[in-house]
Amino acid sequence: MTDKQQGPTPAELRELMSDVHAVQRRVQDTYLRLWSAPETRDVACQLEDAAGDIRRAWEALERITGSFTRVHVVPGTESLCGVPWGVCPDHGNTLRSSGDSSWCTAPDCSRKWGHDKLGTTCGEPVAHKVTDSGGKSFLAGRAHAMEAEKRL
């Protein structure tokens, strides 16, 4: 089975970003050539709008790659946090959700997710073993362990 059949890796997403960046450079070059002739400046302006769309696509891929890199697990190397609710990976229990979107409410955090992250199992990489005073323990991601430390 090839890697693509097993699922993408962060490196594949970075390669995709590189491909989009190459298209963006080609569009910019074409824009400059079209802009140089007065009869094609209208088309150049339309191409400039398309370049903005490509730039936004690249920025979205950058955010997605960052998110995926944080949760990507090489099979057999570690497990994922199984706490049945999501958290902001940086700030812990600061999420709010409405419909199909979630966001962190911590000051200066602009993280948003296009799904109900709060209502789904965490899925961040396991970073700690949390043990309560009664000796019961569970594996948790960094943010859930941080929250457990506050409460235990």
Does 63 lie in the same domain as 15? yes
Let me know if residue 20 belongs to a domain: yes
**C-alpha span between 88 and 102 (Å, rounded):** 10
pTM of the model: 0.49
**43-80 pLDDT, tens per residue?**
999 999 999 999 899 888 888 877 776 666 555 545 78
Residues (pLDDT < 70) of the chain are 1-7, 69-78, 152
Q: Which two tokens stand for residue 126?
A: 């396991």
For residue 84, is it within any domain? no
Domain containing residue 125: 95-151
- 18 shares its domain with 66: yes
Please check whether residue 136 lies inside any domain of the structure. yes
| 132 assigned to some structural domain | yes
pLDDT at 47: 92
Could you tell me if 67 and 113 lie in one domain?
Answer: no
Q: What are phi and psi of 17, to 5 degrees?
A: -60, -40
Which among 102, 17, 8 has a CA at the least distance from the CA of 59? 17
Q: Tally the domains of the chain.
A: 2
Look over the chain and give the mean of its residue pLDDT values, rounded to a whole number.
83
Statement to judge: residues 107 and 61 lie in one domain: no
Sequence letter at residue 78: E
pLDDT at position 152 is: 67
| pLDDT value for 72 | 62
